[in-house]
Chains A and B, each alone.
Chain A
Amino acid sequence: MEIKQIIFAAVSIGALGILFGIGLGIAAKKFEIIKDPMIPKVLDLLPGVNCGGCGYPGCAAFAKAIVEDSVSPTLCSVANAESQENLAALLGLSGEVMDKQVAFVMCKGSNTVAPLKYEYDGIIDCSYANYMQGTGPKLCEYGCLGMGSCVKACQFDAIHVVDGIAVVDEEKCTNCGMCIDVCPKDIIESVPLKSTTRVSCMSQNKGKVQKESCKVGCIGCKLCAKVCPVDCITIEHSLAKIDYDKCIDCGACVEKCPTNAINVFN
């Protein structure tokens, strides 16, 4: 009697399971999705970090866009030169590989050289601090607030706050652009990795104001522009800007700069 009951239970539940299984099997056939076989191949070659730097929600969506809408794979700044070439070969495109770019924080006004207006005791986040009076506690209203909004945004652990200033680890940086978007001061920029002479300042303050608010900021004295042999430096709103395409990294401006706002990197 008991054996009978056990068998009955097993059989009835088993039958129920088989019934559902058949139902699912039919449904799977009916709702089958035909995928382009290229998409997984492209996805394999993409970095798979889902950073969103290309403008698509993750690598899978980007792979789909590459295959179906012929979007250029060079939009992905994370993929290295090798995988870019492989992607181009797979898709039959001309292997035009861009120079690697990295994010660069254009401020070096650390705690020791750039004084504060007031003591800030609020939420430790640049975008909140930026809402405070005078756009944050730093006397220089253009400078890095050093509260690490960019550090939180970075998925590659490539940016860190050192002595109150965000510094990019160029080895790890993939130029995905997350820190650039999140910085309320807009002082992070994509620069070519191979450029070594860069202006570490975004301040448009005039000379006297600038010297009071930060000792290492650009005062717009134009000495660098005069000394540059290839005329690649322009001064606008009392701020020097280097055209990285023209710059030959001679270092003349670096020596001439009275406030050390131009520096040699790498």
Chain B
Amino acid sequence: MELLLLFIGAVLINNVILSRFLGICPFLGVSRRVETAFGMGMAVTFVMTLASLMSYIVYEYVLVPLDITYLYTIAFILVIASLVQLVEMVIQKSSPSLYQALGVYLPLITTNCAVLGIAVINMQKEFTLMQSLINGFGSAVGFTLAIVILAGINEKTNYNNVPKAFKGYPATLLAAGLMAIAFLGFAGLIK
């Protein structure tokens, strides 16, 4: 029950984009079409869940015993970068079509602050392994939800007569802001 609440909290209330403002660059950059946005979301889900697991292991079994926890940022970046590399290799070998679908997004995730952010939040809140996994997965689902919704809005507004000054990113930012306000409504969901 507690894990379920954690999951819902990570998806809706502490949405990684709309309430924590992490991972804004892919959120704005890859939200032109629902299809690509969903691909990006899937790639992030994959990496974020794995990164939660790996960073927990590295933190708990390497950094804490060696008493160098203050180096967690570098260590986590190292973990995420090599993880993305590994995942890319495995996917390229095992499923070329998925590799094609994810395309350039997979390497892009290396520099996605949301992945690092979730790893750091997991550490700061002293989550257990299970909690870290659920939090990572839930946040990634929240990321996918937000980016797919924004891509849907973008697809619709493409056909509207947007005033010239608001064309492109201004309209996208306005939509993102309104989405964040809408997601604020979820705040009372869990006490």
B-binding residues in A (CB < 8 A)? 8-9, 12-13, 16-17, 20-21, 23-24, 27-28, 31-33, 57, 61, 123-125, 128
Q: Which 10 A-B pairs have the closest CB atoms?
A: A31-B93, A20-B82, A31-B89, A123-B159, A12-B66, A27-B89, A27-B86, A24-B85, A9-B68, A24-B82
A residues within 8 A CB of B92? 31, 33
B residues within 8 A CB of A21? 82
9-residue interface stretch from B20-28, B44-52, B71-79, B180-188: B71-79
Instruction: Determine whether the beta carbon of B86 is less than 8 Å from that of A23.
Output: yes
Q: Which of A23, A31, A61 contacts B90 (CB 8 A)?
A: A31
| B116 shortest CB reach to chain A, Å | 16
Q: How many residues of B contact A (CB 8 A)?
A: 20
Instruction: Determine whether the beta carbon of A23 is less than 8 Å from that of B82.
Output: yes
A-binding residues in B (CB < 8 A)? 58, 62, 66, 68, 71, 74-75, 78-79, 82, 85-86, 89-90, 92-93, 100, 159-161
Instruction: Determine whether the beta carbon of A13 is less than 8 Å from that of B90.
Output: no
Which applies to chain B's interface (DSSP): helix, strand, loop or mixed? Answer: helix
Q: What are 15 A-B pairs with beta-carbon distances under 8 A? A: A8-B68, A9-B71, A12-B66, A13-B74, A13-B78, A16-B58, A16-B62, A16-B75, A20-B79, A24-B89, A27-B86, A27-B89, A31-B89, A61-B100, A128-B159
The CA of A125 and the CA of B92, in the complex, are separated in Å by 39
B residues within 8 A CB of A123? 159-160
The CA of A26 and the CA of B71, in the complex, are separated in Å by 26
User: With contacts defined as CB atoms under 8 Å apart, how many contacts are there between chain A and chain B in the complex?
Assistant: 47
- Chain A, Cβ-Cβ closest to B79: A20
- Known interface pairs A123-B159, A124-B161; A13-B89 also in contact (CB < 8 Å): no
The CA of A101 and the CA of B100, in the complex, are separated in Å by 31
Apart from A8-B68, A12-B71, list 18 A-B contacts with CB within 8 A: A8-B66, A12-B62, A12-B66, A12-B68, A13-B71, A13-B74, A16-B58, A16-B78, A20-B78, A24-B85, A27-B86, A27-B89, A31-B93, A33-B93, A57-B100, A61-B100, A123-B159, A124-B159
A residues within 8 A CB of B93? 31-33
The CA of A228 and the CA of B138, in the complex, are separated in Å by 73
- Chain A, Cβ-Cβ closest to B54: A20
Q: Which of B68, B160, B161 counts the most A-chain CB atoms under 10 A from its CB?
A: B68
The CA of A225 and the CA of B57, in the complex, are separated in Å by 82
| B161 shortest CB reach to chain A, Å | 7
The CA of A17 and the CA of B58, in the complex, are separated in Å by 12
Q: Which of A20, A24, A28, A33 counts the most B-chain CB atoms under 10 A from its CB?
A: A20
